[in-house]
Amino acid sequence: MGQDHEVTSTSRAERAVDVEAAITAGGVLPVVVLDTAADADPLAAALTAGGLHTVEVTFRTDAAADAIAALSARSDLLVGAGTVLTPAQVDRAVSVGARFVVSPGFSPTVVRHCQELGLPVFPGVSSATEIQMALDAGLTTVKFFPAEQLGGIAMIRALAAPFRSVRFIPTGGVHAGNLATYLAHPAVLAVGGTWLAPSDLITAGNWREVTTRTSAAVATVHESRTRSHATA
């Protein structure tokens, strides 16, 4: 029994690391709002063609669960659920195959529920107090939301100074023009945002533009990491 428990916790920890490693490797986490699950496959094709293999599908539409189910069935994509506000949504997300959960804010109830399920969770924080709440809950990787509105990279610099173990996924107001500024900070694990696949492009079925934006973001991640290795 005790041994079973140990095995389970180890595999959970490994799963969590896998997810974080995949998000880190991508450098950019596309956030999408899907109105129909029919868009799932072309979206996945567009993102993977551009070089990204992670996606966060927000629980903001009725189609979210079906879309997560369709995307999770693919072997080339790691799919998480975003805008998760309640434990019931966590359960729904898990039941359709979501591998991680993202919230706009810090909910101790949502975080605890994810931890009980062994599901990686990245709650949003917007202040030093919320970071301490995350640390108290045993988390060191958090979403920083809404990043630009909170002061952008200057705020991350200020927060990263005392919280040396914390890694951030800044999201909100990030785009091709300011992506590199965020990626340059060592406390930034990856950056999230809707600019790669915004609702207007999805509705128009403009998958080519989604791939173009994704490739550009991937190139920026690559340049940024090459530069930081060169200066390390």
Ligand X SMILES: O=C(O)C(=O)C[C@H](O)[C@H](O)COP(=O)(O)O
* Catalytic, out of 14, 116, 130, 143: 143
Question: Which C-beta is closer to ligand X: that of 162 or that of 203?
Answer: 203
Would you say 172 and 147 are in contact if contact means Cβ atoms under 8 Å apart? yes
- Minimal distance in Å, beta carbon 108 to ligand X? 16
Question: Which C-beta is closer to ligand X: that of 58 or that of 126?
Answer: 58
* Catalytic, out of 56, 116, 130, 148: 56
Q: Provide the residue type at 75 as one letter.
A: S
- Minimal distance in Å, beta carbon 6 to ligand X? 33
Tell which phi-psi region holds residue 169, choosing left (phi > 0), alpha (psi between -120 and 50) or beta: beta
User: What is the C-alpha to C-alpha distance for residues 232 and 221, in angstroms, rounded to an integer?
Assistant: 16
> Which residues are paired to 81 by β-bridges?
57, 101
130 noted as active-site residue: no
User: What is the C-alpha to C-alpha distance for residues 184 and 109, in angstroms, rounded to an integer?
Assistant: 33
Q: Which residues of the shown chain bind ligand X in the complex (CB under 6 A)?
A: 31, 58, 82-83, 102-104, 171-174, 192-195
Question: Which C-beta is closer to ligand X: that of 107 or that of 211?
Answer: 107
* CB within 8 Å of 160: residues ≥ 6 apart: 166, 168, 185, 186, 187
181: helix, coil or strand? helix
- Minimal distance in Å, beta carbon 193 to ligand X? 3
14 noted as active-site residue: no
Question: Which C-beta is closer to ligand X: that of 50 or that of 104?
Answer: 104
> Which residues are paired to 79 by β-bridges?
55
- Minimal distance in Å, beta carbon 217 to ligand X? 12
Residue 186: CB atoms within 10 Å: 10
Residues carrying an active site annotation? 56, 143
